[in-house]
Amino acid sequence: MRKQKLFTQVTVVFMVLLLAMPVTSGAVAGFRLANNLLLDDIIASQTMVTGRLIQNEEGQAEEGLGSDEQTAVVAADEKQEDDVEKIENEFNFTSEEIDLFARLVHAEAAGEPYEGKVAVAASVLNRLRSSRYPNTLRGVIYQISGGRYQYSPVLDGRINRSAGSGALKAVEDAINGWDPTNGASGFFNPRKTSNQWVRSQPVTRTIGRHVFFK
């Protein structure tokens, strides 16, 4: 590449000097015309090659990855696009709904392991999917059945506390399809309730202090 560049530079300099010489004959004039055309071709060719090199270098700079890594990046991008489409198609929550959702998870799962936070969020989504419950997120969270709120933080006001980043991330993971509960639509803490109805439901999993049921 360096030799080609040096040859081009020497050729251009030689032709520029030749063109600067006075015209003394028709032969020299014809030779000069021919070299004019050749000089134009060389410059055009060099410009094209330089452009291609710059384009290749920019492409390499943007990628900066081996073929396997490029494949992994493309696959990750496609998965992210699929996840976004899934969220939009199934739920299409507003930012206000996401905030409400995260505040519920924060209030219900404070002190629970991260999987337990995701499990609480997943159980809420399972209710939203079920025909037995309201068909909106707000309807599910604020539902009153048998004269009782379904979620104690709504009753005692803890639902109004700001959510932490862990609760927001747990909501995101649940929306993206992670359901550690195996399809549960409810949960309870055995140390805090004596309700016989919830205790009689089919248990799907126990995570932290919560028992999840269908």
Q: To which CATH superfamily is domain 94-213 assigned?
A: Cell wall hydrolase SleB, domain 1 (1.10.10.2520)
Q: Which residue has the tokens 């028992």?
A: 211
99 to each of 4, 44, 150, how far by Cα in Å?
63, 60, 19
Instruction: Please provide the DSSP assignment of 53-73 as one string.
Output: HHHHHHHHHHH-S-HHHHHHH
pLDDT tens by residue, 84-143: 445 445 899 999 999 999 999 999 999 999 999 999 999 999 999 999 999 999 999 999
Model confidence at 193, pLDDT cuts 50, 70, 90, reads confident
Q: Residue 189: its pLDDT value, please?
A: 95
Decide: 174 and 102 in contact? Cβ < 8 Å. Answer: no
Under 8 Å between Cβ of 114 and 180: no
- The 10 Å CB-count burial string (b at 16+, else e) for 80-93 is eeeeeeeeeeebeb
> pLDDT tens digits, residue range 171-187?
999 999 999 999 999 99
Rounded to two decimals, what is the model's pTM? Answer: 0.59
Where are the domains positioned within the chain? 2-60, 94-213
Residue type, 82: D
